[in-house]
Amino acid sequence: MSPKRRKAQLDADERFPSAPLDGPLLEVDGIKTHFKTPRGLVRAVDGVSFSLERGRTLGVVGESGSGKTVLSRSIMGLLPKKNVVREGSVRFENREVGQLPPQEMRHIWGSQMAMVFQDPMTSLNPVMRVGKQITESLLYHLDISRTYANELAVALLESVGIPEPARRMREYPHQLSGGMRQRVMIAIALACGPKLLFADEPTTALDVTVQAQILDLLQSQQRERFMAMILVTHDLGVVAGRADEIAVMYAGKIVERAPTKVLFTEMRMPYTEALLQSIPKLSDKSHTRLRVIGGRPPQLINPPTGCRFAPRCPYVQDKCRTEEPPLMPAETPGHEFRCWFPVGTPEGKAALERNRQAGIAPAAEDVAGNGKTATTAAAPSETA
């Protein structure tokens, strides 16, 4: 490591002493990320708040366009320089990092916070050997020799379950299979022992058979290292068994957040219910029509007033279209949601019944083409 680099690193250590172990590792308060485009201001993330303790996993679930990827980038600070408006506070280990410039953030990236990206084929440098991509990070952040870095890299590859790690070090990404590439990416992210790991759809680009292995790997690494993890995905099944807490995002906001079990048993937000209902179940008969959430993804430019999910919500009432529901706590502690007529409450049930009788179909896709839409065809007797 060059003397200049060493000095910069030491300065960074002074600036970021480890926070007391009992406080939350990450506190996010009202962050907004807006992109300026010729067509208007795209509100990708529009006011998100949560906190995360060490060693805990938060699952962030949402469709395309919900802003979940932008959220993880925003927290880390990996956004482009131009045409981006950022607001809100991000406190990592009790220090405010939300408005730091990239030069400062660089000391955190890799060593304190790391990210595993979605597509390992495009996220690894195709013309650089795998080993070098790992040691690069090590040599940059840690004051170690090249030989030691190589040894560490081999050990890392082994710990993520890659056979013959010493040989793999000298290979290029395209010589590895998809699953192995993702393991390499995990190795790179974990190399300097970060305290917070972002996993941005880590299994979307992989075969189903490999997905479980990767998720298991992430989970075991997290436990070993007592690392906090934010697992971003569109697939509720992925977070079901592996997250301590789940946050459901829609149109740039969190619409429901709860510990995992609570979310599945006591969901309140109709969107969450719809998400759950859209997962096909083994117990369904064959040829059961898949339940889709009708309508189109939300407008991120000039969003309409009122609840963002209103156009597609089977529980929608007039109030929903005019007033945006705030995040309200539910009975169980740690559970919040954003809905005027929540699922499982008397108001919600009444609202649903009213809509069914009025034949209101919320812009749903007419799957069968017979005037009935999927959401109304699925009788409210279906339980989650």
Q: Which residues bind another protein (CB under 8 A)?
A: 35-40, 42, 44, 64-67, 69-70, 73, 76, 78-84, 102, 105-111, 114-115, 117-119, 122-128, 136-137, 140-141, 172, 174-175, 185, 188-189, 201, 295-297, 299-302, 365
Residue 102's Cβ-side half-sphere holds a number of Cα atoms within 13 Å equal to: 6
State the helix-helix crossing angle for 178-190 and 130-141, rounded to 10 degrees: 10
What is the H or E stretch that residue 140 is in?
Answer: helix 130-141
Nearer to another protein, 12 or 378 (CB): 12
Nearer to another protein, 309 or 341 (CB): 309
Least Å from the CB of residue 131 to another protein = 14
Nearest to 232 by CA among 184, 198, 209: 198
Q: How far apart are CA 197 and CA 194, in angstroms?
A: 7
Least Å from the CB of residue 382 to another protein = 23
Neighbours of 155 (CB within 10 A): 11
Tracing tokens 């030069």 back to the chain, one arrives at: 103
Distances (CA, A) of 329 to 2, 335, 378: 52, 6, 29
Nearer to another protein, 178 or 295 (CB): 295
Least Å from the CB of residue 236 to another protein = 18
Least Å from the CB of residue 85 to another protein = 12
Nearer to another protein, 103 or 357 (CB): 103
In this structure, which amino acid lies at residue 101? P
Neighbours of 357 (CB within 10 A): 8
CA 49 to chain centre: 14
8 Å CB contact between 189 and 118: no
Least Å from the CB of residue 113 to another protein = 8
Q: How far apart are CA 330 and CA 336, in angstroms?
A: 6
Nearer to another protein, 26 or 262 (CB): 26
**Adjacency order of strands within the sheet including 26-37:** 40-52, 26-37, 84-92, 95-96
Least Å from the CB of residue 106 to another protein = 5
Q: Is 8 exposed, middle or buried (0-12, 13-18, 19+ CB in 10 A)?
A: middle
Nearest to 341 by CA among 314, 365, 370, 366: 314
Nearer to another protein, 17 or 40 (CB): 40
Nearer to another protein, 81 or 285 (CB): 81
Q: How far apart are CA 277 and CA 384, in angstroms?
A: 6
Least Å from the CB of residue 76 to another protein = 7
Least Å from the CB of residue 174 to another protein = 6
Q: How far apart are CA 239 and CA 260, in angstroms?
A: 8
Least Å from the CB of residue 342 to another protein = 27
Nearer to another protein, 318 or 366 (CB): 366
Nearer to another protein, 111 or 376 (CB): 111
